[in-house]
Amino acid sequence: MEVGNIFRHLLVHNEAFVKKTDETKFLAYATHQNPYITLLTCADSRVQGEILGIDIFNKVFIIRNAGNQVAINRGSIEYSILVLNTPVMLVLGHTDCGAVKFATHACITQSEEIVNLAKSFDKLIKTDYSKISHEVKSEMLPLTIPIERGIPQLEKIRNEKKELAYLSQINVDYQVEKALKYYGNRVKENKLTIIGGIYDFVGAYSKELGRILITNINGVFNTGELQEMARKIIKRIPSYNESSEGYKLVCQLIEEKVTRIES
């Protein structure tokens, strides 16, 4: 889009937002905020707050960087968790992640053994990243640590779309592991639940595009244990009726969406 149109959109669409939004919404939180989710996600433009399906105003404290990395934004994360006391931290990766692709390329082009394990990535191996700046590379290179963990399992998957999603999943596990290192005491005290997930817009997990798959809860990533933990969390809702249609629907969604790509 041409810059003039981009500038016009900024002015016109914000004014439309102002006109349709009751000013009491702004006045109620003019001097404070009380979000209940710390969302650490990727800077990718395809990943936006609306995928949560809720009005995220004053509900979601959003932190973004390439590859949803904990180490890059410790200050912002700690402000949200320790000052604003959000009870949930959601580490959200996504399919077709450019940062994961870069880290994968960095791994497989430096080892003949790894190249042989990543046979589906012929196109990625040939990708030229030489023009990417030093600053960009420096931010994404730490992702090679979790990616190296996942690459040996790729032989069992044999599908590039699923393989990249699997590596994003492994990265989320690593970031949850990091978060538990720093905030594990709050998890033990039931003040914080750390959830890992993948936003799937390519159909790597199912034919339903746009789903968020829950792949990790507080460091648990075995699918059976994950689903059981998810059901226990739902049962913590006061006066929740297990015979209700609402509960049955949630249980069905747990079966479908609390899952992983297994190697």
Annotated binding-site members:
42, 44, 94, 97
Give the sign of the dihedral formed by CA 191, CA 71, CA 46, CA 200.
negative
> What DSSP designation does 119 have?
G
What is the bridge-based pairing of β-strands 193-200 and 211-217?
Answer: antiparallel
Task: List the Cα angle 65/33/184 in 5-degree steps.
Answer: 55
Other beta carbons less than 10 A from residue 74's beta carbon: 14
Q: In b/e form, how buried is each residue of 173-205, taking b as 16+ CB within 10 angstroms? A: bbbbbbbbeebeebbeeeebbbbbbbbbeeebb
Q: How far apart are CA 137 and CA 151, in angstroms?
A: 20
- Label the pairing between strands 211-217 and 37-42: unpaired
Q: Alpha-carbon distance 97 to 44, whole Å?
A: 8
Token look-up 């990790």 returns 216
Annotated binding residues for Zn(2+), written as ranges, equal 42, 44, 94, 97
Task: Please give the span between the terminal C-alpha atoms of the chain, in angstroms, as a whole number.
Answer: 41
* Cα separation, 111 vs 66, whole angstroms: 24
Q: Phi, psi (5° rounding) for residue 137? A: -60, -40
